[in-house]
Chains A and B, each alone.
Chain A
Amino acid sequence: MSTIKALRKNVTLSTIRRGIWDENPVFRQVLGICSALAVTNLLANTLVMSAGLFFTAAMSSFTVSLLRRYTPRDVRIMAQVLIIASYVICVDLAIKAYYPEISATLGPYVGLIITNCIIMGRCEAFAYHNPPIPALLDGAAAGVGYSVVLTFIAFWRELLGFGTLFGHQVLGDGFTHWTIMVMPPGAFFMLGITVWLFRGLLPPERRD
């Protein structure tokens, strides 16, 4: 009995570890980076966006897995998209209701969670073939992996671009703002450097 329990715990841990580090959606698979680039100029926006993605990824994986026996193979992609879209609508309405200013700055990017390849990828690769609870964990882990990298990027972009963190002045008045960091090219540079950094930390044989 205890071995089964230990095994289960092991599987759970490895699922989580895989989502956050081994197969991190952003820097390992380079998926879903549209929003990684677009929302990372302010930390507050990034956290709201990450929470939205976390919720959608976990719940969509869970639902896709629950319905996996009743979904015909031919229409599974469409079914997955509709499931994801329904959760995204919930997220969008919730953000609109509680954080109207952030909703305005995020603009269409909340809606674009639907086409975020991370969620589709996890539904298709994992949730469609596995029971609901592991699927929920898998989706949640991918969401956390995404959030960690985004927060890292947003931290540097906001700090260097505006001299602030969460809108509070951190760097003194003498600091020259790196305006480029909050403009589109800064997003590309920062994500490129992040991918470089995290891949550099991996042992060479696993860099593919």
Chain B
Amino acid sequence: MNGQPSALTVFVASIIINNILLTNFLGMCSYLSISKSVRPAAGLGMAVVFVMTITSALNYLVYDLVLLPLGLEYLRFIAFIVVIAATVQLVEMVMEKYTPGLYYLLGIFLPLIAVNCAILGVSLFMVIRQYSFVTAVAYGAGSGLGWALAIVALAGLREKMKRSRVHPALEGPGITLIITGIMALAFIGFSGMVPV
């Protein structure tokens, strides 16, 4: 584990510098489709932070305690996706029972998250980069926050965009991608803030 960045560094870096959406392009599908207004975007963002933190911890444990000792690393895709799907189901059930308010806020977004590639991506990246447990959880939480930040910012921009005239063929996904490009350009300005 020599030369590994500290958990705090990874946390900050994954929010703004190595933003999972703007530099690794993960979670684009829901990012494009649920960013038309701020409220649902914020709800989805919160749900992603929540699920990403939990699944990065669980997947770390599954990988380290089950797959590695048994030499079954190649099964990690299946193991991770099952853990994620199960976690989403479980979180949904627990939330419905104990925090109905939060459930109604996030409820419809939870099933969507199971197929959000950012969640699986975080688990795969943390294995490839050989993070320790604490760092992996910090990375999961930071990536979730970074994703939420990006989708809320985009939703804000798109709300303002409703009044602008866009070329008909560029409307919708086209212009959204170009706005995202400009956002990614702006986020490059953060690089160098934290030594990664």
**For the complex, is B81 an interface residue (Cβ under 8 Å from A)?**
yes
**For the complex, is B28 an interface residue (Cβ under 8 Å from A)?**
yes
Give the interface SS of chain B, mostly helix, strand, loop or mixed.
helix
**For the complex, is B121 an interface residue (Cβ under 8 Å from A)?**
yes
Interchain pairs with CB closer than 8 A, number? 120
Residues of B within 8 A of A (CB): 22-29, 32, 74-78, 81-82, 85, 115-117, 120-121, 124-125, 128, 167-178, 180-182, 184-185, 188
How many positions in chain A have a CB within 8 Å of any CB in the partner chain? 44
Cβ of B77 to closest chain A Cβ, rounded Å? 5
B174 CB contact (under 8 Å) in A35, A78, A117, A195:
A195
Inter-subunit contact A81/B181 (CB<8 Å): no
Inter-subunit contact A115/B117 (CB<8 Å): yes
For residue A78, which residues in chain B have a CB less than 8 angstroms away from its CB?
85
A187 CB contact (under 8 Å) in B25, B74, B81, B168:
B25
In the complex, what residue of chain A is closest to B181 when comparing beta carbons?
Answer: A188
Cβ of A121 to closest chain B Cβ, rounded Å? 10
Inter-subunit contact B174/A196 (CB<8 Å): yes
Determine which residue in A30, A82, A185, A202 has the highest number of CB atoms from chain B within 10 A of its CB, and name it: A185
Task: Given contact pairs A192-B176, A207-B168, enumerate 17 new A-B contacts (beta carbons under 8 Å).
Answer: A34-B29, A85-B78, A85-B81, A89-B75, A93-B74, A108-B124, A112-B26, A114-B120, A115-B117, A183-B188, A187-B25, A191-B177, A192-B175, A193-B174, A193-B178, A195-B177, A196-B167
Inter-subunit contact B75/A32 (CB<8 Å): no
5 closest pairs, A vs B, by CB? A188-B181, A192-B177, A108-B124, A200-B169, A115-B117
Residues of A within 8 A of B (CB): 30-35, 37-38, 78, 81-82, 85-86, 88-89, 92-93, 107-108, 111-112, 114-117, 120, 180, 183-189, 191-193, 195-196, 199-200, 202, 204, 207
Distance, CA A186 to CA B124, complexed state (A): 24
Give the interface SS of chain A, mostly helix, strand, loop or mixed.
helix
Inter-subunit contact B78/A116 (CB<8 Å): no
For residue A82, which residues in chain B have a CB less than 8 angstroms away from its CB?
78, 81-82
Cβ of A168 to closest chain B Cβ, rounded Å? 27
A33 CB contact (under 8 Å) in B29, B128, B188:
B29
Known: A112-B124, A184-B22, A189-B181. Contact between A30 and B77, CB under 8 A?
Answer: no
